[in-house]
A = this chain, B = another copy of it.
Amino acid sequence: MKVEPRTLPGFMELLPKEQIQFNSMIDKIRSSYERFGFLPIDTPIIESAEVLLAKAGGETEKQIYRFEKGENDLALRFDLTVPLAKYVTQYYNDITFPFKRYQIGKVYRGEKPQKGRYREFYQCDIDIIGDGELSLINDAEIPSVIYTTIKSFGFDNFTIRMNNRKILNGLFAELALEENAVEIMRIIDKLEKIGEEKVVKCLEDLQISKEKIDIIMQFLAIDGTTDEKLEALQQLNFKNELFKQGLAELTEVVKNVRLFGVPEANFKVDLTIARGLDYYTGTVYETFLNDYRELGSVCSGGRYENLAEFYTDRKMPGVGVSIGLTRLFYKMNELNILQEKQESIAKVLVVSMTEKLDRALEIGTILRKNGINADVYLEDKKIKAKFKYADKLQIPYVAIIGEEEEKNGTVSLKNMETGEQEEVSVERLLELVK
């Protein structure tokens, strides 16, 4: 009785040629994060449920993979933020602050599987954590990292949208609508999706006075360049301290984002961005590819005042963003906008025209010693099968060794793209394929 091999729904499993593209994106993310000096950590996928769920509740708790093993109540991590909070508390004395860390790894959520939604997916996070305090200028470094990362994917036309939660919270305080803040933010978040009219309707449903709705809509209608928006916010002349603080912070962050060298075209203030999550307390970010808005935000995050409050009294503010790579890869693949060329791992396939492999193995070793990824075709098959192998794996060069080449100490190098073939010395081979 054979078991039918299958992969669970909601779990991405790629063919090698797609995996190469996926890994190339991970490499670019890692390299961009490291370019700014972020340090790697790698926490377990399994944690004690008590530790992992210290902060959770609601939807998250329902989605979690939780199980017992022996006497242990265990759970799989559902994000990389809770493990980070655990990590900084646990190793507090060994960590150098500000702690700039990145983590790239799989997380688990038992969501209803649907197109583009995964139960196992990669998150690629950066965060900067302060010990007690963290200067506001860090909020301007994050967009610079986002910019570098998205550029490395090959995109130019993207916008990092920034807002500050204090501006929104201050607005609600100014209007004495604090109690409805969470609901109002949820409505505002949908502005782009449902349009102005429906937003008004939703606000009316909350029994908010027409006067106040007018002010909210006036606020949301603020438009123009980044500087014009900041100026218009000033003009509102709100007295609320939180609002004023948020505006001052956003103004400062914008100034510093410029100093970090992020081009004007790639960032803007967007007052509608709230980010659903409760723990953001200041700057918030979302990033959109402007030609592919349907992707949603490809990189989001923000500032939080207290990372590890469920583990420690120590105040550890931070700021960070995350890329949900699995979904992004799926969507980019679907839209056919993966910029990574489908590249092979091997640059050269060495094939022998005869049964003898001695010289082919030698050439393979020479190529590898020169830092070139080389595969030697080892099976005793017809020459056609050997070329088919190179073709299927999209290996760009085939180095052919027949009796003539072996006698001459040469190889015949075939460029698989152009079809051109020439007999060359080993030195020349190395030059050509490098």
Residues of chain A having any CB pair with chain B under 8 Å: 2-8, 11-16, 19-20, 22-23, 34-48, 50-51, 54, 65, 67-70, 72, 74, 85-87, 89-91, 94-96, 98, 100-101, 106, 108, 110, 119-120, 130, 134-135, 137-138, 141, 144, 148, 256, 259-261, 308, 310-313, 344-346, 349, 357-358, 361-362, 365, 368, 373-376, 378-380, 389, 392-393, 395
Q: Which among B90, B144, B261 is the interface contact of A7 at CB below 8 angstroms?
A: B90
Interface centre among A85, A106, A379 (most CB of B within 10 A): A379
Flag if A16 contacts B40 (CB, 8 Å). Answer: yes
Q: Which among B6, B90, B91, B95 is the interface contact of A51 at CB below 8 angstroms?
A: B6
Q: Which among B90, B106, B148, B345 is the interface contact of A368 at CB below 8 angstroms?
A: B148
Report the bound CA distance from A374 to B110 in whole Å: 39
Shortest beta-carbon distance from A71 to chain B in Å: 12
Q: What 4 pairs between A and B have smallest CB-CB spacing?
A: A37-B375, A67-B67, A37-B346, A16-B39
Residue of B nearest to A16 (CB): B39
Flag if B374 contacts A35 (CB, 8 Å). Answer: yes
Flag if B375 contacts A261 (CB, 8 Å). Answer: no
* Copies of this chain assembled into the complex: 2
Q: Which residues of B contact A101 (CB under 8 A)?
A: 16
Flag if B313 contacts A2 (CB, 8 Å). Answer: yes
Q: Which residues of B contact A87 (CB under 8 A)?
A: 5, 13
Flag if B69 contacts A42 (CB, 8 Å). Answer: no
Q: Which residues of B contact A37 (CB under 8 A)?
A: 344-346, 349, 373-375, 393, 395
Known: A259-B362, A357-B137, A392-B96. A72 touches B41 (CB 8 A): no
Flag if A41 contacts B16 (CB, 8 Å). Answer: yes
Flag if B47 contacts A8 (CB, 8 Å). Answer: yes
Shortest beta-carbon distance from A373 to chain B in Å: 5
Q: Which residues of B contact A44 (CB under 8 A)?
A: 7-8, 11-13, 120
Flag if A69 contacts B110 (CB, 8 Å). Answer: yes
Q: Which residues of B contact A48 (CB under 8 A)?
A: 6, 8
Report the bound CA distance from A87 to B23 in whole Å: 18
Flag if A40 contacts B13 (CB, 8 Å). Answer: no
Report the bound CA distance from A9 to B16 in whole Å: 35
Residue of B nearest to A141 (CB): B378
Report the bound CA distance from A344 to B36 in whole Å: 12
Flag if B3 contacts A378 (CB, 8 Å). Answer: no
Flag if A393 contacts B96 (CB, 8 Å). Answer: yes
Flag if A373 contacts B45 (CB, 8 Å). Answer: no
Q: Which among B68, B148, B345 is the interface contact of A39 at CB below 8 angstroms?
A: B345
Q: Which residues of B contact A95 (CB under 8 A)?
A: 15-16
Known: A35-B373, A51-B3, A137-B357. A106 touches B45 (CB 8 A): yes
Q: Which residues of B contact A346 (CB under 8 A)?
A: 36-37
Flag if B50 contacts A3 (CB, 8 Å). Answer: yes
